[in-house]
Amino acid sequence: MTTPIVQTDIYMDFQGLQSLRAQAKGDDEAALREIAGQFEALFIQMMLSSMRDASLGEGLLDGEHTKTYESMFDRQIAIDLSKQKGLGLAEMMVRQMSRGSESDGQASGVPIPVSPAYQVPAPSSISVPAAIGPAAATARDWRPETPEEFVRELLPHARKAADSLGTEPEVLIAQAALESGWGRHMIRGPDGSNSFNLFGIKADAGWTGNRVMTETVEFRDGLMRKERAHFRAYASPAESFADYADFLRSNPRYRDALDGAGGQDGFVRALADAGYATDPQYAVKINRIMDSDRLRNAMSDNIDRAL
């Protein structure tokens, strides 16, 4: 007779987890299924946490208490989702583990490769956290940890775009740093995928590429307002820089910026005067980054590496 499995319905039910651990030692199939469900819940919770980290910034009422309750909510939602249809990960694990225990001559504890029949493709609406699959996540994502890493990745693309625009690469690096929070607050899709939009270029009716909708801050009639808008999405930082250069060259309104009058400051000021951004302090903020020790040190570090 199979011992009834103790369902862990809330993430802080430690007694249920202890009972689950005891039953797992008996090699009970129901215990195996529940353990797989718990693992899937953990996987879902990591995805939810990753999506929250991809937000553009904190709200006016956000704080440490809010983050704590959000974390608790994510864990509970993850458990509830795993007890329904879930992602299919738990079922895949049960099949694989059951198949492994029934294989002739298979040593205990030796992993068995997952056959294609049991592989569950990740839905397009799921972003795989780096903790689960760093190699796969790196291919779809980019989140630099330091300004030095930010500059190191973007400098080759910035140099190429700057040459075509008649300006200096540090100007474009500074603008990208402002628009993306040094790469830490990139615009992301509903699945958490990176748009690689480093210059905040919106997707108008003439844009035929991929796009993503997100919340943005605009200044209207002197007031700061939150709005939702479509932005262009790229496959890599290189595509973002290339499209930025094409965007400026194909718009007559930015002709003064491309004429090069006034050097770096003139380029940034002409962009702002032409209405590149609605923020009245846009040029000031870019120039502040260009004059900062953070950018200077990052640029110097990467130039020294190249020598």
- Catalytic amino acids? 218, 243
| Alpha-carbon dihedral angle through residues 43, 48, 49, 54, given to the nearest 10 degrees | 130
- What CA–CA distance (Å, rounded) separates 188 from 194? 5
Nearest CA-CA partner of 210 in 183, 235, 246, 176: 235
Which pair of tokens denotes residue 247? Answer: 């965007």
Q: Which residues contact 59 (CB under 8 A, 6 or more apart)?
A: none
Tokens 């007559």, located at residue: 252
Taking only Cα atoms into account, the Rg of the chain, rounded to an integer number of angstroms, comes to: 25
